[in-house]
Structure 1
């Protein structure tokens, strides 16, 4: 039985992990959100989040974006390739409601899966 949990092992925690992704990323993005990905040597994907105060002023909005992103990743973790992902919120992301943000993330996860199959 598949367990949709989000343990510590599925998170990018240190700046070293983030820098690894930023060096040579595969990009997928929209006007509001970008997802950078890079193959890792693990057997599972990991995710890190960046929601800058510059673009998302209020803490409850930053928390909402992070919560929805983690939930989207948690539900897709078994269909994603073994990559490290960094999700970056851009200017105007607060204009998206929960459904629109979730749909955008799903489209970007799917795009990364297609890019991985092309490698």
Structure 2
């Protein structure tokens, strides 16, 4: 069970971590969210979230979005490459059901996991 934990070392914690990803990122997007990815030398993936109040208005909805993204990442962390990922919410992300959001995330994780994505 601890294999699927979302430990501190699996998170982007500082502004420098986010800046590193934003500088030269590969992106995979949908109408509802965008995931930026950049290789890291750590041997494991890390996750960061950007959920602006301007895009998702209420704290309840922002927290739901973040919870679902973290859960999706947590369950797939052993299959993801050693990259830093930043998930950016768009306005329409709030309109998705939990199941729809999971399907979108699964598709984007898969797209960014392909070796050709550098």
- The TM-score normalised by the length of structure 2 is 0.96
* Residues 1:82 and 2:69 aligned together: no
* Residues 1:30 and 2:41 aligned together: no
Equivalent residue number for residue 62 of structure 1: 62
Q: Any unmatched runs of 5+ in structure 2? A: none
- Deviant stretches of 4+, over 2 Å: none
Partner deviation per Cα, 1:84-110 (whole Å, 9 max, x = no partner): 000000121110010000110000000
CA–CA separation in structure 2 for the residues paired with 1:104 and 1:63: 18
Structure 2 counterparts to residues 1-119 of structure 1, below 5 A: 3-114=3-114, 117-118=115-116, 119=118
Partner deviation per Cα, 1:26-61 (whole Å, 9 max, x = no partner): 000001010000000101000000110001000000
CA–CA separation in structure 2 for the residues paired with 1:73 and 1:82: 13
Counting matched residue pairs gives 117
CA–CA separation in structure 1 for the residues paired with 2:74 and 2:23: 25
Q: Indicate the RMSD between aligned Cα atoms, in angstroms.
A: 1.1
Displacement after TM superposition at 1:2 (Å): 7.3
Displacement after TM superposition at 1:3 (Å): 1.3
